[in-house]
Amino acid sequence: MPDLMGRIAPTGMAAAEGWTLERLTPPSRLYGANGLAVGPDGRLHVAQVGGSQVSAIDVDSGTIDTISPMGGAIVAPDDLVFDEAGNCYLTEITEGRVSMLTPGGQARVIHGDIPVANPITWHQGRLIAGECRMGARILELAIDGGAPRVILDGIPMANAFQVGPDGKLYVPVMGANQIWRVDLDSGAHEVVAGDLGVPDSVKFDSKGRIVTTQVASGQVLRIDPVSGVREVLADLGPGLDNVAFIGDRLFVSSIPGEITEILAPGKVRPVVARALQWPLGLAMGADGALFVADGTFGYTLEPGGAPQLAGMIFHPGCPGYMRGVAPGAQAGEWIVTTGLGSVARYRPGEGASDFLSHGHDRLMGVAVAPDGAVIFAEQGSGRVLRADNGSVEAIAQGLDQPTGVAIDADGVVHVTEAGAGRIVRLSGGRAETLLDGLDRPEGLAISGDRLVTLDSRAKALVACSRAGEERALLATHLPVGAPPGVTPRYLGPIGDMAGPMINFADVAAGTDGTLYLSGDAEGSVLALRAA
């Protein structure tokens, strides 16, 4: 039987006596899905930025094998291509470089100094890579590490490109919402198609037609590069990333980890089901809907339902890459911290955000005080801050990686220090230890008369009284944090799109006593309930 398990082995998660534990969403099979390329073995290879992993999929059996693992030499691979000898060339988007992975698994850097390295292709012995940023360059790289040749610069965000039958490079230009045709020698270029749905990949079918994914609209389009006639092949939802052909079979990736085969216009077959990429912050709204911050995406999860897309970074009004979240003052409003260091009131239904603060270093958890002030943890600086009436001030400094924030009905602020392994109570600018001896406490919630934290290194949910007494394990062997034996590489910023991609194993409390957990190791949301 094929191995169709999730991206990590089952953890044997268990609830303490008197509690039940269940998954509200299924585990993900990939750490997201970005670039696609067919390897010499005929399998579909998938680059996964968030997991620093490359996997190979047998598209008929569904079996997935790891080619380059998390914690290995390849970091944050975004796109990939193979040469005739079976070498794989990859862009490492957070590292700003292109590397080569040999058929035997040896890795070496081809060239660095490529900010937001993203698209890559191979054509008749020529390796061509580009950048996905404003003012991007397209470069021809020397395999021996020599100086690159700039083919074209000043591009507003180039993405996954390919050389067409005419020998020209066809480039999806996200910032212009166009597809360009570029002469590889002179750099001369012209617009082939415009007014799209934010194109982020271009590949050619066997008849010389463009097939392109649209990250914002979720459409897969087929375009005649001569006449410009276009056809919608599928509408799969926002977040599409790349395209690959195995013969005449067409496969499409989506950032949340979905791989889809398009059989005919309007007819599709799931190869790997859409799922959550992380998830990160969780928050329970007054209407009973759970908001799930999943980096590029935000979802709402109703009781008994599946995650429903609330917003994403290419939607109007989205504040950016979403990490921490708390319920706002009104239904449908959420307070979020972003990967680029901002705090915002986000109303996805209106397509609007009001920013409260900018310029912070690795923001994590957030909570709202009884007086309406927003309290948030700035992990990079070791501070906890308060935003209120247009002003922002630090209410605690010198903490060791403050991460989760919870506030009681009296306005007392509680914080997890992931680096120090403790929960503290803030008072008068001082941090008073309530519970220590933890490994890496991250998310924090108040449920009844208890503080509850999710310890990502111990892989346990730990509770104590508000005075820090009566410590108890509520659940163990949870699918959180890094897989056993793996030290993940630090994933830095992606230009102006996202700051550092830091995991955040959060916990949120429902009014009925249910505790919701971010199963960030496997890509699920869990619920712990009193039996």
DSSP 435-478: E---S-EEEEEEETTEEEEEETTTTEEEEEETTS-S-EEEEES-
- Strands 352-357 and 162-163, how do they pair? unpaired
Residue 176: the pLDDT is 97
**Main-chain phi, psi angles of 334, to 5 degrees:** -135, 140
Closest by CA to 377, choosing from 408, 422, 343, 420, is 343
Q: Work out the pLDDT band at 3, boundaries 50, 70, 90.
A: very low
pLDDT over 90 at 216, yes or no: yes
Q: Is 249 helix (H, G, I), strand (E, B) or coil?
A: strand
Q: Which helix (H) or strand (E) holds 376?
A: strand 374-378
DSSP secondary structure letter of residue 490: P
CA distances, 250 to each of 129, 255, 271, 337 (Å):
23, 17, 11, 37
Q: Whole-angstrom Cα distance, residue 281 to residue 512?
A: 20
Which residue carries 């989205």 as its tokens?
Answer: 318
Across the range 411-435, mean pLDDT stands at 96
Distance (Å, rounded) from C-alpha 518 to C-alpha 84? Answer: 42
Confidence at residue 485, expressed as pLDDT on a 0 to 100 scale: 84
Phi and psi, residue 516, nearest 5°: -110, 130
What are residue 175's phi and psi, to 5 degrees?
A: -70, -20
Closest CA to 175 of 148, 147, 155: 155
Cross-strand partners of 90: 80, 99
Q: Are 214 and 198 in contact (CB under 8 A)?
A: yes
Confidence grade of residue 1 (pLDDT, cut at 50, 70, 90): very low
Instruction: Output phi, psi for 436, to 5 deg.
Output: -125, -170
Beta strand pairing status for 343-347 and 334-338? Answer: antiparallel
Which residues does residue 37 pair with via DSSP β-bridges, in sequence order?
45
Whether the predicted pLDDT of 259 surpasses 50: yes
CA distance 166 to 151: 17
Phi, psi for residue 523 in degrees, rounded to 5: 85, 40
Tokens of 449: 């008369």
Predicted pLDDT at 220 = 98
Residue 35 has pLDDT above 90, yes or no: yes
Q: In what order do the strands lie in the sheet with 430-435?
A: 402-407, 413-417, 422-427, 430-435
pTM of the complete model beyond 0.85: yes
- pLDDT of amino acid 2: 41
CA distance 337 to 314: 17
**Which tokens go with 55?**
């996997």
For all residues of the chain together, what is the average pLDDT?
95
